[in-house]
Structure 1
Amino acid sequence: MNQTFIKKLINLSSIIGILATIALLIYGYQAGIFSSAEQLSYMISQAGIWGPLIFIFIQIIQCVIPIIPGGLSCVAGIILFGPFYGFIYNYIGILLGSLINFILARHYGKPLIETIVSKKTYNKYISWLDRGKHFDKLFALAIFMPVAPDDFLCMLAGLTKMTYKKFITIIVLGKPASLLVYSLGLTTALEAIMKTLG
């Protein structure tokens, strides 16, 4: 299975993911699921414990293979489960997904990364590996910021000599701030759009 085929498969899955998201949003709107917080909460409660577990699993997969836009899944978590639990479930899913990215890169190296990420992103950040010990500081700072390509950077970290302990510490401590800013920012923007359309 060559890299070109895998890239095409990933691109196809991303398109399918976006279309499925749009279809679910349209269905939810027509079914009245998004008409009130009560309706949304009722739908989630019907899924029981499976609701959060399915969402966390989707977030994990999303970190490794971008099926739907990452920001959209973060917002979905907050809309579906509320600010507190939505943040917790997003955090758990992204933490586990980030660790998987690190492990995959450590075991399969650059060929895997080149297959999954775009050439533009790869070329922009691959030079970080030449920074030696400064990579760890750059990585920690990037994880803390809400605009960096975290999933790719976690893979990049897997190519370095960074220990699992240091990686997990950086992710655990750095992720909450960026996730909070990112999720709440997108949620606020979405609410403003909904008010405008309403």
Structure 2
Amino acid sequence: MKVKDFKFIKSSTIINIITIIGLFLSIFLMFWGYKAGLFTSQERLNAFLLNLGTFGPLIFILLQVVQVVIPVIPGGVSSIAGVLIFGPFRGTIYNYVGIVTGSFINYFLARYYGRGFVTNIIGSKKMDSYTKYLSKGKKFDNFFALAIFLPIAPDDVLCLFAGLLNMNIVKFTLIILFLKPWSLLIYTLGGKYFLTKFLFN
């Protein structure tokens, strides 16, 4: 095994471990928020947000950027948490700003650093799997647009591939800016409804 390949595998393992830790931490924080009454009492939620001040939204947006570029915390979990903490309108806006920013960062990182960087992030097995059916010219563009619109695809990985396959920047921008909000609304508001309906009652 080459030293370069070993470094890729080692970095991928570290990222996976951090991702698992981030998942459990996110779930813990959501349940802590519920137990503290942040999701059931408007007064307590308002007091919590006031204590955060202007740093609260900024920290959350930064968190969303980081989770897109490096999957420390699963995006679905943090997006739902944003809506629960900041409310449907502000939470969705903050989610949108953070995720869109992270998507552009992924696109340009993959475009600049190439295949090795993407392999380091997602692992060699996933890289081979995605490459088989995503490297098909214009078909990828159509698949990418549909995947961004629907709330079921690994957007962070697809943005990496968009950069890796040199998708036209104008097309990428239009898809992210105008199709991402719809999947985000479905994902976050649907997730909030599920949590409040089945878990927090």
Say yes or no: does 1:138 pair with 2:127: no
Say yes or no: does 1:38 pair with 2:55: no
Say yes or no: does 1:169 pair with 2:174: yes
Contact 1:41 1:80 (8 Å CA) reproduced: no
Which segments of 5 or more consecutive residues in structure 1 lack a partner in the other structure? none
The equivalent residue for 1:156 is: 161
Contact 1:33 1:39 (8 Å CA) reproduced: yes
Which segments of 5 or more consecutive residues in structure 2 lack a partner in the other structure? none
- For residues 178 and 27 of structure 1, do their structure 2 counterparts lie closer, same or farther at Cα, with a shift above 3 Å needed? closer
Say yes or no: does 1:105 pair with 2:110: yes
Q: After superposition, what is the alpha-carbon deviation per residue over 1:124-180, rounded to whole angstroms, capped at 9, x for unaligned?
A: 421344321222122111111111111100000001232222211110011011111
Report the AA paired with residue 42 of structure 1: A
Once the two structures are superposed, the pairs formed by residues 31-70 of structure 1 within 5 Å of their partners are: 31-70=36-75
Q: After superposition, what is the alpha-carbon deviation per residue over 1:31-73, rounded to whole angstroms, capped at 9, x for unaligned?
A: 4444423212210121111110000000000001111221110
* Number of matched pairs: 196
Indicate the percent of aligned positions where both proteins have the same amino acid. 47
Report the AA paired with residue 105 of structure 1: A
TM-score by length of 1: 0.89
* Separation (CA, whole Å) in 2 of partners of 1:8 and 1:103: 24
Report the AA paired with residue 12 of structure 2: K
Q: CA deviation at 1:108?
A: 1.1
Report the AA paired with residue 85 of structure 2: L
- For residues 117 and 183 of structure 1, do their structure 2 counterparts lie closer, same or farther at Cα, with a shift above 3 Å needed? same
Report the AA paired with residue 190 of structure 2: G
Once the two structures are superposed, the pairs formed by residues 108-123 of structure 1 within 5 Å of their partners are: 108-119=113-124, 121-123=126-128
Report the AA paired with residue 116 of structure 2: P
The equivalent residue for 1:86 is: 91
Once the two structures are superposed, the pairs formed by residues 186-197 of structure 1 within 5 Å of their partners are: 186-195=191-200
Report the AA paired with residue 83 of structure 1: P
Alpha-carbon RMSD: 2.0
- For residues 33 and 160 of structure 1, do their structure 2 counterparts lie closer, same or farther at Cα, with a shift above 3 Å needed? same
